[in-house]
Chains A and B, each alone.
Chain A
């Protein structure tokens, strides 16, 4: 099957500045592919290349099997794009602007515009430039989804949306995937990637640090554990935990006649449980692994330290 997006050694330089230094990506059709990374990592640059808004310095790129540089408007009609920095300052109403974009795509079907606007709670009658930031973002989302594109490229899609609308958006993404559309989205809100993405690429300084499934990221993630044992038993347990491969940052705090042993675990849960059997456990808390922290581990040396900061 032809990948929806395929890049090889994709690089982009602006003068001396390097925005992308060799991106290899393959996004299978019908998948939700998330890109995460700090600002300036190259997420937006990659997306703009897919839309032929900017041209790569070197490397190759295929979108829906075609080269965006030469495929022309016909390819872009099959893509729905939401820019990261959305400018919505038109005097015309949201409906008129969205109809205009539909015409650019050669679409006469404006029923879907109303459908999506209703789902997101967008008033189509108001002038676009008078809308709040969140409502402008909704206009952006509607124009990306309205023509049922084969590929959705969404740069920070939920920025400015309130939580209820964010949930509706995530539902729209899942529906798109179920309908066979491919979704390529970036975010720095990792929880939303966690909720919808099948695969995640982590971008940093114009490079892909890792491509992984959410499950694998989750498995690799550290989870916080907190074990409460009787006073003076803490030191013994702590030394036992320190001998485990997957444990790090073991600390002991004495409070109210108990010792509380905290640590961070990566995998190795069975060994951890085995270590606990010999202790008199009064309370045990294992937190759900945090994808955000898993990702931040790729971002630098802060991995094992206070990555949640």
Chain B
């Protein structure tokens, strides 16, 4: 078995980290979701939400928090789960090329019998597998807790929510990859990946504030993912935009990385 050596190496190098991320997500999901029955229909909690400034509530997407889908969205997919997936995506996307290059290890790898595009594609493949594992794990946990936590989510909603979360992770990771492929600088790669996630979140939150700013949501990956409430409403075509951007960024990364000098 000598196929895809870089892909296999990348996975073998990161299984420890992957387990860490999985444990973190399990802790978060396992902590928040079982609280829903005591919060969702609780009049005191609803009163607290209503007493908060409307801008804050809409920025945090808490306006639907009394429904199972809204609660799951507001706590996991739209907030802490999104943050963890984003951080993992930034870390993986920026280290695949830029981190390796800044450490000085990439030069020796490329001096062997691998092509530039093979390196980008195999390492991208490893990132995709890891993101799939992470989001698949979240999806599984949500599905398992759906009944006991009285969330009332449909299977379609859970799957759509997973695809939306996966899409945001892939956009972030591939932009980090692209930043590294273009420049080889780790901080630029991190900035590109984290930047798109933060900007997407901010644009969406601003767009929630008033109808004058709503147009901002049309350029927010976060809004493409969660604007149509996939957990409640199921698949939305805007989610496909995330995958289109991820594919475009990956293709650009391959082209950029074939062109430039390494390690200078």
CA distance A38 to B19 in the complex (A): 48
- Given the known interface contacts A87-B108, A89-B105, A91-B13, the answer about A104 and B113 at a Cβ–Cβ threshold of 8 Å is yes
Contact A100 B5 (CB under 8 A): yes
Count B-side interface residues using an 8 Å CB cutoff. Answer: 23
With both chains docked as a complex, state the minimum distance between the C-beta of A23 and any C-beta of chain B, in angstroms.
Answer: 17
Closest B residue to A105 by beta carbon equals B113
CA distance A143 to B115 in the complex (A): 18
Residues of A within 8 A of B262 (CB): 48, 53-54
With both chains docked as a complex, state the minimum distance between the C-beta of A56 and any C-beta of chain B, in angstroms.
Answer: 10
CA distance A222 to B96 in the complex (A): 53
Count A-side interface residues using an 8 Å CB cutoff. Answer: 31
Contact B113 A54 (CB under 8 A): no
CA distance A100 to B105 in the complex (A): 13
Contact A103 B103 (CB under 8 A): no
Residues of B within 8 A of A104 (CB): 5-6, 109, 112-114
The residue from A53, A89, A105, A143 contacting B107, defined by CB atoms under 8 A apart: A53
Interface assignment of B110: CB less than 8 Å from any CB of chain A = yes
- Stretch from A69-77, A250-258, A274-282, A299-307 at the B interface: A69-77
- Given the known interface contacts A91-B13, A103-B5, the answer about A53 and B112 at a Cβ–Cβ threshold of 8 Å is no
Residues of B within 8 A of A55 (CB): 261
The residue from A14, A106, A143 contacting B2, defined by CB atoms under 8 A apart: A106
Residues of A within 8 A of B104 (CB): 83, 85-87
The residue from A77, A81, A91, A108 contacting B108, defined by CB atoms under 8 A apart: A81
Given A76-B111, A81-B108, 15 new contacts (CB under 8 A): A14-B264, A53-B111, A54-B263, A73-B114, A73-B115, A73-B118, A76-B114, A79-B111, A83-B107, A85-B104, A89-B103, A101-B108, A101-B112, A103-B5, A106-B2
What are 8 of the A-B contact pairs (CB < 8 Å)? A51-B111, A53-B110, A53-B263, A54-B263, A74-B113, A77-B113, A100-B5, A104-B112
Give residues in B with beta carbon < 8 Å to A: 2, 5-6, 9, 12-13, 103-105, 107-115, 118, 261-264
- Please list the 6 inter-chain residue pairs (A to B) with the smallest Cβ-Cβ separation, ordered nearest first: A87-B104, A77-B113, A104-B112, A54-B261, A81-B111, A73-B113
